[in-house]
Amino acid sequence: MKKLFVSILFVSLIAACGGGSAEKKADESAPAVAKTEDLSSNPDYQKGLEITAKSDCFTCHKIEEKNIGPAWRDVANKYGGSDTAVNYLANKIKNGGSGVWGQVPMAAHPNLSDDDLKTVARYVLLLKNK
Ligand code: HEC
């Protein structure tokens, strides 16, 4: 019985390792991941993460995938490089609205300060990979 348990454990370990390396492979082929790691020393990135984690953003958003709201990577790719993007996005996060990514409205965030809104907008734009 003990032997059986050990071999089951062994088999599931192999399965776990297999899964892990498949994941790693996907990461290596995605330059976006490497870029995100480089960002960790950027103050806007750090502060933006803090503010968004405390707020409700991640109920509706993910970085890489569309959720109720668009993936932030897609948002960054759409507006990154535009001079007016920080102000535009800061405003949109403050007031909410719909119609850019679909008909579902983005929630308003009247409680974030103007500084925080701009930091968050810069943080989202940092996620650009194109
Ligand atoms: C209730 C769900 C919800 C929450 C909470 C939410 N969002 Fe959104 N967000 C959306 C939706 C839906 C859209 C797409 C709006 C549109 O199509 O115009 C969106 C769009 C955006 C955009 C792109 C705006 C544009 O015009 O392209 C940004 C940036 C954004 N959200 C940031 C945030 C941040 C930062 C927070 C937290 C402070 C947040 N969101 C919280 C649902 C949400």
pLDDT tens readout for residues 79-127? 988 889 999 999 999 999 999 999 999 999 999 999 999 999 999 999 9
Measured in whole angstroms, the distance separating CA 74 from the mean position of its chain's CA atoms is 10
Burial class (CB in 10 A: 0-12, 13-18, 19+), 75: buried
Q: Is the pLDDT of residue 57 over 60?
A: yes
Distance CA 34, CA 71 (A): 18
CB atoms within 10 A of CB 58: 13
Residue 42: band (very low, low, confident or very high) from pLDDT cuts 50, 70, 90: very high
Q: Is the pLDDT of residue 67 over 90?
A: yes
Give the residue among 82, 85, 74 at the shortest CA–CA distance from 130. 74
Please choose from 61, 101, 113 the residue to mutate so as to test ligand 1's pocket, defined by most ligand atoms within 8 A of CB: 61
pLDDT of residue 81: 84
Ligand 1 shell residues, CB under 6 Å: 52, 55-57, 59-61, 68-70, 75, 89, 92-93, 97-102, 104-107, 109, 120, 124
